[in-house]
Amino acid sequence: MDEASLAGPRERALAEAPVRVVSARVGLGRRLTTLWSRRELLWGLVFSDIRIKYKNSALGIFWSMLSPAFTLAVYYMVFSLFLKNGIPNFVVYLFAGLVVWNMFLTAVSTATGVIVDRASLVKKVSFPREILALSNVGAAIVYFVVQIVVLVVFLLVLRHAPAWGYLWLLPVSFLALAAFSAALSVVMSAVNVYFRDMKHLIEVVLQLWFWLTPVVYSYENSIAPHLAAHGLSILYFLNPVTLVVVTFQRVFYVTPVVHSTVTGQVLNILPTWSFERFLLLNLALLVLSVVAFVVAEAVFGRLEGNFESEL
Amino acid sequence: MTTVIEVREVSKQFKIHHERHQSLKERVLHPRSGSTELFNALRDVSFDVGAGETVGIVGHNGSGKSTLLKCICGVLKPSTGQIRLRGSLAALLELGAGFQPELSGRDNVYLYGAMLGLSRRTVDAVFDEIVEFSEIAPFIDTQVKFYSSGMYVRLAFAVAVNVDPDILVVDEVLAVGDERFQAKCVDRIQRFQREGRTILLVTHNADQVRALCDRAIVLDGGDLVADGPTHESLRVFRERLLDEAAEHDPEKLLGTIQIDSVTTPSGSFEVRNGAGVHLDVVVSSQGAFSGNFVVEVFTRGGLLVSRSDAQGAPVNLVPGANRVAVDLPALPLLDGVYDVNLGVVDTHGHTVVAWREGAASLQVIYDGREGGIVALGTAVTQL
């Protein structure tokens, strides 16, 4: 090939190439389009993260199932067998909520420290930094999918049919959770650069958060009547994870009202909302979560300008 | 010519923490303390680079050249000003920084490619070339953590240069690898030049800039102090280095010695057919000084023809004007213009106390028909 002849077409192509701007402030729109254009890096990081995590372990990705399975077994024994909460088929109820909670927990807790942990990369290679936090969310989603598969197998074995009519709530609810997790992860990863305590603080907060979310207990059957009496039900649902957990429980556990296996009393386990009400609430949550993600991107943009002085 | 890099009034400040308060407790307890200082790494730097240019960025340590490069690559964001780039950019900054030690070489090639903004398919297409260039084919499926540092760097270099960048940014990396691999790298950079790609080369190796660049930019303390043809910029660079050294000079020698004039007895700098040249050099000194004289001869293309041994030519300077004769008894050079640089160094050859870049330009006229630089007088006889 005659190398000299390459100069012509290259220069012509260059003249038409888009211009990239590096400056102190990057507009939010440009941030988001840049992020989208680098999605292939996001996939690359997600899968390399997973590969590295399980590279030298014999059981590999099965660990992502074993650990939640163990948690599931412990909670089942404690709440159903020892404390006798009387909820029939409690293991399904528990599983549906845990799957959701695990994804949120994994995403936020791993993403918070990621910018600091990967400081050498951040200081040497150019790419949208929030991709690091998002790759942890992506990995959490992969584990979520694996656990959902296990849940489905579980349901098949137990011959427990989901609420077919409510099935379409799942994608909406999942997307809302993913967007909310991403928003929180992106902000936390940047804040942790300035306040290194955030990594430890978030672990404490997440523990508290877990008990504010109706995973191992039933909201309707515990504090709901008390809150409703004061018109404060909304307070409980300010926690975005709650709606997603309740939606997953409604789809997989199915029956909102059951008879206690211990006393035979009627138990209100889940809200008795119609499909439309569930859908509306989940759509609202999705919109709010997407807005939260956009805000998180803006906050991240503000904070990342000084990363090099802090890392 | 299309402008591919536009740097407009770029400044960069770093916050320097004297006492770091990074935990929440410390921040709450000492909201204002932990003094920070602003450090200007770059001040109002502006320049353009056209398509196909090879531009050297030189400056001593701390001059801001790496900061500028990182801003151009987008690793750092300028505090004010902006940089506009056209076309794809690959950076050879701290090679292998994006590598994951736990992954194999193959996985890292794809991951690094993605970091440079390439799709999987694009990397697929050049994967074999990358492996071939890096010369680590047998180890491509080995985890990178088992690589030697040389293998690491070779693989990173191979990815960066095989991804068809419009702009290649190179930072000091030519100093890595063994000599043969370095030659290969320089070769690849020269091929990029012929292909009309734009190259930014950051180094403090003046010879490399002379050999590869048509144009050089000099940074000093965050300011752009020169931007022009390589030999002119390098003259500024050397002068700045001397000024800089003068400030840290314990014996206060620098600045006291100057090369005032360089002349020939005939007044002409023409050299004909291998004849020599005699240079009369006047050096003024404020004190007595014993040192050595250094003579460099360069082609206009920036190739070093000869540099005299720094310890081979002792001079004893007395206060006042000193005359030094520099004899180049035979110059078996071919047609062309050759630049002569003169300098005075201390007896160890470590410190340059006076320097004159472009002290003389020799116009060499050679009647033979040989090509190149040196007249070897090759004779071919059929026996």
Among B22, B97, B166, whose Cβ lies nearest the Cβ of A120? B97
Which band of pLDDT confidence, cut at 50, 70 and 90, is reported for residue B26? low
- pLDDT number for residue B285: 86
Residue with tokens 């349901």: A155
Chain B residues close to A196, C-beta within 8 Å = 22-23
pLDDT: which is higher, B368 or B41: B41
Tell me how close the Cα of B2 comes to any Cα of chain A, in angstroms: 6
3-state SS, residue B69: helix
The continuous run of DSSP H or E covering A13 comes out as helix A7-16
Give me B204's structure tokens: 């403090």
Matching residue, tokens 């729109």:
A29
Distance, CA of A115 to CA of A103 (rounded, Å): 20
DSSP state of A3: G
- Say whether pLDDT at A4 is over 50: no
Is residue B179 over pLDDT 80?
Answer: no
The 8-class DSSP code of residue A77 comes to I
Cα–Cα distance, A302 to B256 (Å, whole number): 51
- The pLDDT of residue B177 is 63
Parallel/antiparallel/unpaired status of strands B336-346 and B352-365: antiparallel
- What digits encode the pLDDT tens for the residues B242-252? 666 666 655 55
Over chain B, what is the mean pLDDT?
82
More confident: A114 or B347: A114
Cα–Cα dist B55/B52, whole Å: 10
Chain B residues whose beta carbon lies within 8 Å of the beta carbon of residue A20: 74, 84-86
pLDDT at A10: 65
Taking a C-beta distance cutoff of 8 angstroms, is the pair B361, B340 a contact? yes
> Across the interface, which of A13, A19, A22 has its CB nearest the CB of B77?
A22
Q: What is the CA radius of gyration of chain A?
A: 23
The 3-class secondary structure across B169-220, one letter per residue, is: EEECHHHCCCHHHHHHHHHHHHHHHHCCCEEEEECCCHHHHHHHCCEEEEEE
Is the ipTM of this structure higher than 0.85?
no
Of B14, B75, B82, the CB nearest to A125: B75
**Among B81, B94, B196, beta carbon nearest to A7:** B196
Does the CA dihedral A131-A132-A133-A139 come out positive or negative?
Answer: positive
**Res B253 pLDDT > 70:** no
Q: Which residues of chain B have a CB within 8 Å of the CB of A54? A: none
Closest residue in B to A120 (Cα) is: B97
User: What is the rounded distance in angstroms from the CA atom of residue A32 to the CA atom of residue A179?
Assistant: 14
Contact criterion met (CB below 8 Å) for B37 and B31:
no
Q: Given this model, what pLDDT does residue A237 score?
A: 84
* 3-state class (DSSP) for residue B365: strand
> Residue A79 has what DSSP assignment?
I
The domain segmentation of chain B, as residue ranges, is: 251-365
With beta carbons under 8 A apart, name residues in chain B contacting A3: 191, 194-195
Collapsing DSSP states into helix, strand and coil, what is residue A254? coil
Can you give A172-213 as a three-state secondary structure string?
A: HHHHHHHHHHHHHHHHHHHHHHHCCCHHHHHHHHHHHHHHCC
For residues A78-90, one letter each, b for 16 or more C-beta atoms within 10 angstroms of the residue's C-beta and e for the rest, the string is: ebbeeeebbbbbb
- Nearest-CA distance from A149 to chain B in Å? 27
Which residues pair with residue B6 across a beta bridge?
Answer: B48, B84
Of the candidates B68, B85, B53, B61, the residue with the CA atom closest to the CA atom of residue B11: B68
pTM tops 0.90, yes or no: no
State the architecture of B251-365 in CATH terms.
Distorted Sandwich (2.70)
pLDDT score of A139: 93
Chain A partners within 8 Å of B24 (Cβ)? 195, 197-198, 201
pLDDT at B168 over 90: no
Distance CA B15, CA B17 (A): 6
Q: How far apart are CA B346 and CA B279, in angstroms?
A: 21
Burial per residue of B287-321, b for 16 or more beta-carbon CB atoms within 10 angstroms, e otherwise = eebebbbbbbbbbeebeeeeebebeebeeebeeee
Kindly report the nearest CA distance between residue A184 and chain B, in angstroms.
19
Question: How far apart are the CA of A214 and the nearest CA of chain B, in angstroms?
Answer: 31
- Given a contact cutoff of 8 angstroms between Cβ atoms, the answer to whether A218 and A87 are in contact is yes
CA A202 to chain centre: 15
Q: Determine the residue of chain A that is closest to B117 in CA distance.
A: A38
Closest CA relative to residue B70, chosen from B4, B7, B163, B155: B7
Local structure of B326: helix, strand or coil: strand
Query: Cβ contact (<8 Å) for A201 and B27?
Result: no
Question: For residue A283, what pLDDT band results from cuts at 50, 70 and 90?
Answer: very high
What would the pLDDT profile of A64-81 be if each residue is shown by its tens digit?
778 888 888 888 888 888
| Per-residue model confidence (pLDDT) at position B360 | 86
At B297, which amino acid appears? V
Given a cut of 70, whether residue B98 has pLDDT beyond it is: yes
